[in-house]
Amino acid sequence: MHKKDGQFNTSAKALPKRRFRFCSGDVFVTLSVLLFCAILLGGTWIYGRKNKNKPPYVRITQDGKVLLEKDLRDFPEPVEYQIDSDHGHMVIFISSEKVYVKESDCPDKICMHQGDLTSPGDGAVCLPNRVVIEIVSGDDDDTSGKVDVIAK
């Protein structure tokens, strides 16, 4: 039914009511997504429980050589660790709660903008000074010299 201006008149006839129905494929996809989420949450929970009691420590390396590797609990008072080398000057703030780059003479200062490093896995890198600062879980083995991935 057309009106004079060319539009349809929908009030003359009621539209059929739509009903949502699950198909067997919908149930399979929904259960697969829920199972995947449960596995991810379970793995995260197990990993967190495994590393909960292990104290984090700070590792500072320059050109692959370890300059400092110490438990964060060994810093009851905050310390400013200075690195002076041919590549430049850095001051790193270390306390029992956090680590951050306080000052650096590199041009872009990305290492300073990295912010506070507080939990295992956090890290900051200063490429001009060739310094890597990372917070590592207490029992992580030294992986230098070991192969992570083999590529052919």
Q: What is the CATH number of the domain that holds 125?
A: 2.60.320.10
Residues 88 and 110 in one domain: yes
Return the closest-CA partner of residue 66 out of 81, 76, 44, 79.
81
Contact residues for 87 (Cβ-Cβ < 8 A; gap 6+): 62, 128, 129, 130
Q: Considering the domain boundaries, does residue 27 fall inside one?
A: yes
For the entire predicted model, the pTM comes to: 0.59
Q: Considering the domain boundaries, does residue 17 fall inside one?
A: no
Residues 88 and 112 in one domain: yes
Q: Considering the domain boundaries, does residue 70 fall inside one?
A: yes
Residue 22, pLDDT score: 73
Greater pLDDT, 10 or 115: 115
Residues 95 and 107 in one domain: yes
**Could you report the per-residue pLDDT of 31-52, keeping only the tens digit for each?**
999 999 999 999 888 877 776 6
Residues 121 and 93 in one domain: yes
% of the chain at pLDDT higher than 90: 33
At residue 8 the predicted structure's pLDDT band, cuts being 50, 70 and 90, is low
Residues 45 and 87 in one domain: no
Is the pLDDT at 17 greater than 90? The verdict is no
Write out the residue range of the structural domain in which residue 88 sits. Answer: 57-136
Count of structural domains within the chain? 2
Residues 40 and 67 in one domain: no
CB–CB of 137/51 below 8 Å? yes
Residues 31 and 79 in one domain: no
Q: What distance in Å separates the CA atoms of residue 44 and residue 33, rounded to the nearest whole number? A: 17
**Minimum mean pLDDT range among 55-64, 89-98, 123-132, 143-152:** 143-152
Q: Is the dihedral of CA 96, 102, 108, 113 positive or negative?
A: positive
At residue 25 the predicted structure's pLDDT band, cuts being 50, 70 and 90, is confident
Q: Considering the domain boundaries, does residue 101 fall inside one?
A: yes
CB–CB of 61/67 below 8 Å? yes
Residues 26 and 64 in one domain: no
Q: What distance in Å separates the CA atoms of residue 101 and residue 115, rounded to the nearest whole number? A: 8
Residues 62 and 80 in one domain: yes
DSSP code string of 126-144: ETTTTEEEEEE-TTPPP-T
Residue 119, pLDDT score: 83
Residues 41 and 87 in one domain: no
Q: Considering the domain boundaries, does residue 11 fall inside one?
A: no
**Could you report the per-residue pLDDT of 47-99, keeping only the tens digit for each?**
777 766 678 889 999 988 999 998 888 888 999 999 998 888 999 999 988 89
